[in-house]
Structure 1
Amino acid sequence: MPKAKAKAKTKAKKEEPATAGLGDKSVEAAERYLEYDPVSKVTWKLGDATPYLYLANIFESIAETTKRLEIAELLTNAFRTILASKPTDLLAAVYLASNTIHPQHEGIDLGIGDATLIKALAEATGRKDESIKNDYKEAGDLGSVAMASRSTQRMMFPPPPLTVTGVLKEFRAIATTDGEKSVDRKKGMIKKLLVSARECEAGYVIRSLQGKLRIGLAQQTVTQSLAHAIVLHGDAGKKKKGAELADALGAAFDVLKQVFSECPTFDQIVPALLEVGIEGLQERCKFTPGVPVKPMLAKPTTGVSEVLKRFEDIAFTCEYKYDGERAQIHLQENGKVSIFSRNQEDNTAKFPDLINGLKRYIKPHVKSVVIDCEAVAYDREQNKILPFQILSTRGKKNIVESEIKVKVALYAFDCLYLNGEPLLREPMHKRREALYSAFQEVPGEFFFVTEKTSRDIDELQGFLDESIAENTEGLIVKTLDATYEPSKRSLNWLKLKKDYMEGCGDSLDLVPIGAWLGRGKRTGVYGAYLLACFDEDGEEYQSICKIGTGFSEVILEELANAMNPHVIDGPRSYYKVSDAMKPDVWFEPKQVWEVKAADLSISPVHQAACGLVDPQKGIALRFPRFLRRRDDKEPEMATNSEQVAEFYNAQANKQEFNANGDDD
């Protein structure tokens, strides 16, 4: 199993996305797909269960390259081979490649502790715990240790080979095992997998159980490979060539991305693809209550003038932007209520007060509904919104309603589903009408967002000032004819925050990937961190700043304790970091932090958005300061490189507005 490269990769120019339609690289990739014979790669009996070793070897090949197009090609062809042999194994292969075992909203994860894995590995190989711990400390990768520790003992009756579906089944059993002696039972199941493992299989079993494959395979590539494999396996893939095939592959990926954002469960999507293909997928897999859609997001702006300029001939409305937690509330026809976070985590247990209060907000004729809201800490005695930091003190599990001290108010701003009818493709003004028809305000508990429709610059500036006085973050400006676009940061929704006058137009959500040991008063913790944005096309983390301000002593200690379990031996191959940046420790990408900066500048050192503004240089934050942890975001949901470039370019626009006297 290849070790992660100690030196971060660099590239002068971003590779063209595989779905670029008529782009040269996508056409070349399409032609290469036609040269691949899936059946010839089936080294087991056609129709038999797919060996796990086949998929593990694909992971090995992916780990050997940093080129996204090559990674997508390897995985696409692997899925095609599985389709050619046993299509029903595709679902398990997709889950294992995604490093997941269930849909995200079900909240069932592996993430087995290292101590349990080390004990299981020791028992499976006959080695001592301490010896494995020492090797792990030196290698920094328990998967590599597992592969090197394979038992040489001969068995009279060797266990049957691992299969793709069998491994997923065992992973699911391990994840759902609880109760008395559950750790021992989990350890027994893990040991059974390791004893049956051959060649590199043990390494990937361990890595999957840790919750990190460490091969730079992102969810977007898995989704793309799945779409491409289905097209190439079908009639369209056999009849089309060149640019025509490249377009078909790109269109299929677009369809699957859209469907997955509205119905994010492979348990439904993969069987539907096998039965009706890409063409029938949107009709088969629809948004329904109980399964969260990925939320629509807004783009930041630099001021009222920019809003009016962007929406010059379009009807729009402004809403207060509340500083709380995104809450997508689902009421099913059977009466079940669920609350999901912005990253689709099931937060229902966190808000028993909202669940019990919902019947007071919903009108009698409503049988099923999904609304998009912001849950905000609220002082019901003084009738005012409280800061986000107050909300963050609420517990997350085992919440007893009678013991809740931080009260919450819901501010509803969108209706996505009502009485059996999905509303995602309806215009904003119709979704707002549906929201008003289905709910009623309850003082201190449930409100509709405060909104205003106007094109007068002074009136809008006054509305922005009012929103800030009401302890909100500013405004969200929305076009009235826009549909709801799950997971997209759309120009149909613009953020106009109070921060826009303070330099950088918005805060950034960044991922800590390294740190420097603290000195003096910061001895024993990390004194500064290396932060990165996420580049979606290259699926890599690009350094953007070194940050050492905005931390209290308590926060520094909390962050060090949170990051220490994620220390790794060196930068991942998918970290884009200059040789000039040499942190004392490196981290797996696990957390997202909200950061504010004075402004952004072209940097010869940092790599964020390299090639998007300057051909050779990246962008860095000037005078960054830490604001808070974003527990509601996954690392791949961090600010991306294109947004960084937009922030940089917006600075020039803002200065232009100010120079012309068009803005404050």
Structure 2
Amino acid sequence: MDSDEIIPEPTQNEEEDLDEKYPNRPHNRAPTFPFHELYLNLFNPLSDIKKKPKGPSLARRKAGPQGKSTASLNPYELRRDIIARFISRWRKEVGDDIYPAFRLILPDKDRDRPMYGIKEKVIGKMLVKIMKINKESEDASNLLNWKLPGVSAARMAGDFAGRCYDVLSKRPMRTEPGDMSIEEVNKKLDDLSAASKEDQQTPILTEFYRRMNPDELTWLIRIILRQMKVGATERTLFNVWHPDAENLYSISSSLRRVCWELHDPNIRLEAGDRGISLMQCFQPQLAQFQMHSFEKMISRMQPTEDDPVFWIEEKMDGERMQLHMDQDESVPGGRRFCFWSRKAKEYTYLYGSGIYDEKGTLTRHLKDAFVDGVQNLILDGEMVTWDPKQDAPVPFGTLKTAALAEQRNPFSDGPRPLFRVFDILYLNGRDLTRYTLRDRRNALQKTVLPVHRRFEILEYHEATTAADVEKRLRTVVAEASEGLVLKNPRSPYRLNERHDDWMKVKPEYMTEFGESLDLVVIGGYYGSGHRGGALASFLCGLRVDDQNSSQGADPMKCWSFCKVGGGFTAADYQEIRHHTDGKWKEWDSKKPPTALIELAGGDAQYERPDMWIKPSDSVVLCVKAASVSVSDQFRMGLTLRFPRFKKLRKDKTWKTALSIQEFLDLKSNAEQEHREKEFSVDNSRKQKRVKKTGKKPLTIAGYEEKENAQYLGPSGHVFDHLNFFVMTESTMPEKKTKAELEQLVKANGGKIYQTNTAAPDTICIADRKTVKVASIQKSGQTNIVRPSWLIDCVKQNEKDAGLPDLLLAFEPRHMFFIKEDQDEDIKRNVDQFGDSYARDTSVDELEDILQQMQHGKDEVESSLDPHSVHKIEAHIQDKINSGYTAPCGWLFRGLQFLFFPTHQANGNESGESDSSGSITEDIRLTLARNTAHFAGASSVTSLNSPDVTHVIVNPEKVSSADIRSLRQSLVARSGKKVPHLVSLDWVEESWKHGTLLDEERFQVPR
């Protein structure tokens, strides 16, 4: 919107244009409210509910429409009541045009006012200048360095508006509410959005400062920054305003239309007005989260015998974009274009408004992109960055830069925008969203003429089985694409909805879920060492969803679920602090915030954090993990095994984070994925589900325990936290049935499973060879322990009553089968004559030992038994999850690396050879290899190794052709897991930050 320094009233022509576009728009009969009415009667009361959701003081201050007390209302009803009373007053005293107020109440939804182009630091700088504050003073520092804790404003670190109030309240121009009306504020904000330089913006902010008190100015700053956080969503405001308001905003993204076309709540939208419109941005359909059981995903698309087909499309790494085109003779070329992103941000300035638009990086190529007879249309697709030199897409994040470079030099051979269309939703005046995807695709094929590497129709593949998905997914890995989208060709287009008709499949490098989990931070733990003095790990929770709320639970509550302390860089910590500073509170175990956060253990408060934060004030972390495990330490009863931070989801709030029911759905789907022919990109820590029959309780399948026999013998805790799979009865030293052995384990704290892969580190027990025992022995991957070890452990702890429970080390006599690499370790748990170092010896054993002493044996070096090592590993991992820095030699423990190019004597794969045949070693690669070895990783020199987890590449030393060849080799590993392909930076940055960082940040370019 153009404006002079002082914006005049709308001209008669402007009013006529508005009347023509909105013939039924309402007109107010009185001036708008003063601006202070907004904060006194709307913003502050809504904020009070966030601070004090209930209480007699609130009830005394407020009353309902007929003077009815609001004490009995819940927070949601209170919010609706406050909004309804404000809207009712506006209609009664001002008129039916509430658009001026809604522009200030929902500034982030107002697409009619351009962005201001100013952020916190610029506003702080202008306030210092306006209030003539000494730049060296504490107040100036607090404004200019608002992210850092101040002395007097420490409580508001990270809250710029709150920091401004602290400074403004010390030197106000007025203490009473000002006299600026809502209409005046809107005009001045139009001025501010039109001003492009600081010397134009400062006088406008000066007038606000002169005519507003500190409270008004604080809310004005929030409006400018579009960060209101009043405690009420646009959905609540829309629903109070009109029952069709949310629907209209979904199809139009226009706040103006919502206010002007729905000013009468008694007049509903006509059926014809509920669909999309040309040149009106809509909210697109989204893909449902992955279920990971391809069979179930396919079944959700409701195939039939006559039509079992579903479609597979590539999931592109770009920005979702909708293109609108209409005939317009006033535009050179006769066609007018508009572009909007998924978030309703207009990008027409970047991609072009017409065929001859000099700044149209895309539209200048669309002169012959449509068949004759196409008058108007709406296309849905993805805008990606394409590198013509590599003939491949460029990773996400470079799109705007590439488009601007294309504007400056349209004939360059550098990266450029490429629009890949996958749907048509409007054609020649007809809304196509109700037609099936197959019909829409037919229309798209007959309408669009592709322009090579500028404007293309996204290819799809027809499929009927899960094997088809697996095959395409391997291609995705080979080509380093983002993933796949499965689509139901029989489905309509569902606006602003995430539905099973579209389902995304990502080649995630985790085994339990195809999706990473978006979790709410609800607590924090202080770290130690270089992480000391700051929150180094976080307690994450699952949102109590509507289903739980209907059963009496608090809808604003989260249940504790896991602790995350790995995968963060210093920049990640800083960003989380930026979004949460000033919102943390010390955990008081005597008065825990049970209304918002629920821990496990009741009064014991398991895993209670040092600090806590309201879910509504918090951030959402994207977390990935190896698997899910049972835990009584978290309210969910389940937790993540080896959770790792992936990224901060700034586009999500706690209300859109993962809920309890959504997680249970994901878990249920994940439990069905473990089949023999299952495709998994990373299978190194895989845990298979035990198939069960009958009714399932709400636990992980396979974790139920059978009570087949009563055991009346000793009980204790010697097997606490251990998992067992008992396969046969015991024959020596005493006979016990399989059921009796299971009861012996359970009575002493252990857990029983009916397979060796249902739980991590399961101990297999057998005393004779059965089919199952022979199968496990043949695999060579798992020790098989005799039942005598169980009996010895229990007996030894009976003898040592009163002492801490001690788990005996494995001895050769305890072992039915020993893994090849652990034979020597187990022998070290006895002396050269077979006498145990930790266990009392029986008379019969002593006789055997004396006989062996006569023959003599070589002395075997003693060592720590593997189960003690396992306990130490679990203890260290728990410390890492709690924010402790991993030991230097622990960082890459259990990982197997292949450094590419490999360093081999023949020089074939090692890089370059000089004239004498010696190897010119990549020094950086050598340092990374040495670092990895020091940090616990093992390395291999061939992709044939079945256990390789990471292929490390220095892209600067390897050609694009070699990388493409390497990707093909990776996916060709039939029957083997596909390792991560990462750049050398991953090793270096993980070492630098002392934690395993998410591999997706360090993908190798194509």
Same fold (TM > 0.5): yes
Distance in 2 of aligned mates of 1:480 and 1:261: 24
Structure-2 change in CA distance of 1:292 and 1:276 (3 Å): same
SS in 2 for 1:437: helix
1:33-65 residue CA offsets vs partner (Å, 9 max, x unmatched): xxxxxxxxxxxx994422222221221111111
C-alpha displacement of 1:263: 0.5
2:346 is the alignment partner of 1:327: no
Distance in 2 of aligned mates of 1:532 and 1:343: 27
Match of 1:142 in 2: 163
- Report how many aligned residue pairs link the two structures: 570
2:445 is the alignment partner of 1:436: yes
Q: Does the 8 Å CA contact 2:388/2:415 hold for their aligned counterparts? A: no
Q: Does the 8 Å CA contact 2:620/2:657 hold for their aligned counterparts? A: no
Structure-2 change in CA distance of 1:506 and 1:266 (3 Å): same
Match of 2:921 in 1: none
Q: Does the 8 Å CA contact 2:192/2:201 hold for their aligned counterparts? A: yes
Distance in 1 of aligned mates of 2:163 and 2:133: 16
Distance in 2 of aligned mates of 1:107 and 1:604: 52
Match of 1:355 in 2: 363
Structure-2 change in CA distance of 1:371 and 1:152 (3 Å): closer
Q: Does the 8 Å CA contact 1:528/1:548 hold for their aligned counterparts? A: yes
Structure-2 change in CA distance of 1:529 and 1:477 (3 Å): same
SS in 2 for 1:494: strand
Which residue identity lines up with residue 163 of structure 2 in the other structure? Answer: L
2:626 is the alignment partner of 1:598: yes
- 5+ residue gaps, structure 1, are 1-44, 228-251, 607-615
C-alpha displacement of 1:203: 3.1
Which residue identity lines up with residue 191 of structure 1 in the other structure? Answer: T
Distance in 2 of aligned mates of 1:174 and 1:377: 33
Distance in 1 of aligned mates of 2:560 and 2:409: 43
2:48 alignment partner, one of 61, 64, 70? 64
Match of 1:78 in 2: 86
SS in 1 for 2:673: helix
Structure-2 change in CA distance of 1:501 and 1:74 (3 Å): same
2:180 alignment partner, one of 143, 162, 181? 162
Distance in 2 of aligned mates of 1:107 and 1:225: 27
Which residue identity lines up with residue 367 of structure 2 in the other structure? Answer: K
Higher relative contact order (CA 8 A, sep 6+): 1
SS in 1 for 2:312: strand
Distance in 1 of aligned mates of 2:132 and 2:637: 47
C-alpha displacement of 1:75: 1.4
2:62 is the alignment partner of 1:55: no
Q: Does the 8 Å CA contact 1:375/1:411 hold for their aligned counterparts? A: yes
1:79-129 residue CA offsets vs partner (Å, 9 max, x unmatched): 12212222345112222222437228x752575424534743884699997
2:263 is the alignment partner of 1:269: no
Q: Does the 8 Å CA contact 1:594/1:629 hold for their aligned counterparts? A: yes
SS in 2 for 1:654: coil
2:310 is the alignment partner of 1:317: yes
2:249 is the alignment partner of 1:203: no
Q: Does the 8 Å CA contact 1:568/1:588 hold for their aligned counterparts? A: no
Structure-2 change in CA distance of 1:172 and 1:153 (3 Å): closer
Match of 2:583 in 1: 570
Looking at CA atoms only, which structure, 1 or 2, has the larger radius of gyration? 2
* TM norm structure 1: 0.71
Structure-2 change in CA distance of 1:587 and 1:303 (3 Å): closer
Greater helix fraction, Structure 1 or Structure 2: 1
Distance in 2 of aligned mates of 1:561 and 1:355: 41
2:126 is the alignment partner of 1:108: no
Structure-2 change in CA distance of 1:279 and 1:530 (3 Å): same
| 1:70-469 to 2 correspondences below 5 Å | 70-100=78-108, 102-103=110-111, 108-109=115-116, 112-114=119-121, 116-117=123-124, 119-120=126-127, 123=130, 130-131=138-139, 133=142, 135-140=152-157, 141-142=162-163, 144-145=165-166, 148-149=169-170, 151=172, 161-178=179-196, 182-198=197-213, 200-227=215-242, 252=243, 255-274=244-263, 278-280=267-269, 283-284=272-273, 287-299=276-288, 300-313=290-303, 315=307, 317-325=310-318, 326-334=320-328, 335-349=335-349, 352-380=360-388, 383-385=391-393, 388=395, 391=398, 394=401, 400-402=408-410, 405-469=414-478
1:487-506 residue CA offsets vs partner (Å, 9 max, x unmatched): 21112222233339722121
SS in 1 for 2:327: coil
Distance in 2 of aligned mates of 1:211 and 1:52: 17
Structure-2 change in CA distance of 1:393 and 1:118 (3 Å): closer
Distance in 2 of aligned mates of 1:257 and 1:498: 35
- 5+ residue gaps, structure 2, are 1-27, 51-74, 143-150, 329-334, 352-359, 547-554, 586-592, 600-606, 679-688, 693-974, 976-1006
Between 365-374 and 95-104, the greater mean CA deviation after superposition: 95-104
SS in 2 for 1:338: strand
Which residue identity lines up with residue 652 of structure 1 in the other structure? Answer: E
Structure-2 change in CA distance of 1:320 and 1:191 (3 Å): same
Between 361-370 and 256-265, the greater mean CA deviation after superposition: 361-370
Distance in 2 of aligned mates of 1:357 and 1:525: 53
SS in 2 for 1:452: strand
CA RMSD of aligned residues (A): 4.5
Structure-2 change in CA distance of 1:153 and 1:508 (3 Å): closer
SS in 2 for 1:453: strand
* TM norm structure 2: 0.49
SS in 2 for 1:307: helix
Distance in 2 of aligned mates of 1:266 and 1:189: 25
C-alpha displacement of 1:265: 0.8
Distance in 2 of aligned mates of 1:511 and 1:392: 30
Q: Does the 8 Å CA contact 2:369/2:449 hold for their aligned counterparts? A: yes
Match of 1:487 in 2: 496
1:122-147 residue CA offsets vs partner (Å, 9 max, x unmatched): 84699997447365445441354267
C-alpha displacement of 1:413: 1.3
Distance in 2 of aligned mates of 1:599 and 1:333: 54
